[in-house]
Structure 1
């Protein structure tokens, strides 16, 4: 059984990583505009500081970090007099990327960053927006936002091809009079990015970003629904409790998918511990009779388990309760913590508490 579970977990991890995919974003802006601060505020893992970078053109660096399904292309040189030469090189690079037969290698959107304090939009920024919009959706990001005074409307007017323009203050800022401007605009930026990123990249973006727990929950709910549908199909012919472990692969796949979308590292050892402590713990599985009895209190419309078998509706309800408990546990742990501050033992303890009622 342990060997079978190990293979199931390996297959679930492989599928979850494939389903999550990869998102690639080009971020452009003049030196000092605050791109690194923005990147670290939006994405997990202190990405701009600790990610590995390599040059892909004279003025563009590719930044990656292991276990985060995100690649950033940081483009500089907008302040240079010969920026058009830089743009030609950049356009060739973008064209080659987006002509790749694998959509995961494409650049899926661009953010053009403009410092609000400058109060002006340069020709280079306008031309870059027009160039990039021919290959991908573009968002204008006004950084270090503290006092709009009509500047956003000006940027919107000049960056005509941009999908929208968002004012962002990535970190707290103390003004001369001691007033503190709190971080703002990050949720709006993430929501806009989710609207325009291709469907196949949405899970990757949700996993990489750390601003919106709701986005992580929404995508995870979809995984639970799909898993519950599979469980219902499995239970269409009533399953004897003794054979109920055939639902385990569905539930393991669901766990792996939710873990991936929340942005946690998918490790076989962790999932093995999670599975052995919940789904298959000491033969008193989550799909045992005692659990089903407790579930009836949560789902009064299910009815009774006739003949000691799991029906389609019961299999679906169990899977939903299982998945939603895991989502609630992860969301609770990330409410006031960075993902790097949440341990595997924290996840296991919170999940078991929420599903099995263990304190």
Structure 2
């Protein structure tokens, strides 16, 4: 692994490397006819304007893979699903799905499909029905996404009847629209359905892919924020349990460094969950900006000393040791402080990339180091 600073101690390097290895990746197929609004939908749900021109890599003649460095998500986008080309497109997709499904690398597997149907068409094409069957046959859960939705009038029920194997039908309007009324004044239709799509997709993904999914989501959506917080709280619970187990035999205060890899790994995983770029440089910057880049033992002592101030009743280290309950509580306190800082940032800056320098500064203030 390439490191960014010789001052970063090995326990921190190892914790960061483990966080990177366990970050995972998700792959989503998005299919639909030309003009259905797939690119707009992708850019509305996920951070970083994924579907920018030139961001895709050709996989087949009619399918491209959209991804960006530091984003743990790839979108397999079919370039139009037209009746005259359906057989050709389906054959290509079948080959891609079979190749990925047989891979020993689970990060190559396809985890969910969005089948996009334009509401204005008011019908489900045979090609869309057949494609849904193909996904289901290959054990890929499918969400039917009715795009550019203005007035359902029972169309979502018709879609559900035609596509009997879909896991969910969600009507969305990815962008706000203004429609003229008879008086010449515009009626604004706000975005809709994106929170539902985000939640339905999360429900279909394996537990091991939830951190990657949370990272990929744009923070402009309330459902995305809830998913990020929920996943981050899981990371804290796991780290707190590990810290308690480590301290089951009391930790000498001078050896408080033993807690640091656990807490550094937790910080890194929470940062990934909230949308931090997945790279060694970014994670190392987060840790060293927050904890400093001094000697490992000094970081451990400083971290514990600062965290003790956050925990009522834990303000001293009894007998020169840290007991299991205290280690657990300290880890929970650090995790809760970090989640609070990140939540505040994304709520005040919806859809914006994380400012890690600002966030690290605020976290340092919270732990009073």
Normalised TM-score (structure 1)? 0.91
2:163, 2:213 → 1: CA distance?
Answer: 24
In the alignment, what sits opposite 1:148? 152
In the alignment, what sits opposite 1:286? 303
In the alignment, what sits opposite 1:272? 288
Aligned ranges 1:87-126 → 2 under 5 Å: 87-126=90-129
2:110, 2:99 → 1: CA distance?
Answer: 10
Of the structure 1 ranges 148-157 and 94-103, higher mean CA displacement relative to structure 2 is found in: 94-103
SS in 2 for 1:179: strand
1:307-351 deviations in whole A, cap 9, x for unaligned?
Answer: 132111001100100011111111110113256443222112221
Task: Pick the aligned partner of 2:328 from 299, 303, 316.
Answer: 316
Q: Retained in 2: the 8 A contact 1:51–1:64?
A: no
1:174-215 deviations in whole A, cap 9, x for unaligned?
Answer: 111211111111111111111111222222111111231111
In the alignment, what sits opposite 2:195? 187
Q: Retained in 1: the 8 A contact 2:19–2:268?
A: yes
Of the structure 1 ranges 130-139 and 240-249, higher mean CA displacement relative to structure 2 is found in: 240-249
1:151, 1:277 → 2: CA distance?
Answer: 59
Q: Which runs of 4+ in 1 moved over 3 A?
A: 2-6, 277-284, 302-305, 338-342
Q: Post-superposition shift, 1:65?
A: 0.5
Q: Post-superposition shift, 1:70?
A: 0.5
1:65-101 deviations in whole A, cap 9, x for unaligned?
Answer: 0000001100133224131122112111211111112
Q: Post-superposition shift, 1:245?
A: 2.1
Q: Retained in 2: the 8 A contact 1:113–1:141?
A: yes
1:112-152 deviations in whole A, cap 9, x for unaligned?
Answer: 00111221111111111111111110110011111110010
1:7, 1:284 → 2: CA distance?
Answer: 16
Aligned ranges 1:196-215 → 2 under 5 Å: 196-210=204-218, 211=221, 212-215=224-227
Normalised TM-score (structure 2)? 0.89
SS in 1 for 2:114: strand
1:318, 1:51 → 2: CA distance?
Answer: 46
Q: Retained in 1: the 8 A contact 2:255–2:297?
A: no
2:300, 2:316 → 1: CA distance?
Answer: 22
The answer as to 2:234 corresponding to 1:230 is no
Q: Structure 2 stretches of 5 or more lacking a match?
A: none
2:291, 2:351 → 1: CA distance?
Answer: 21
2:315, 2:359 → 1: CA distance?
Answer: 32
Q: Retained in 1: the 8 A contact 2:286–2:360?
A: no
SS in 1 for 2:156: helix
In the alignment, what sits opposite 2:19? 16
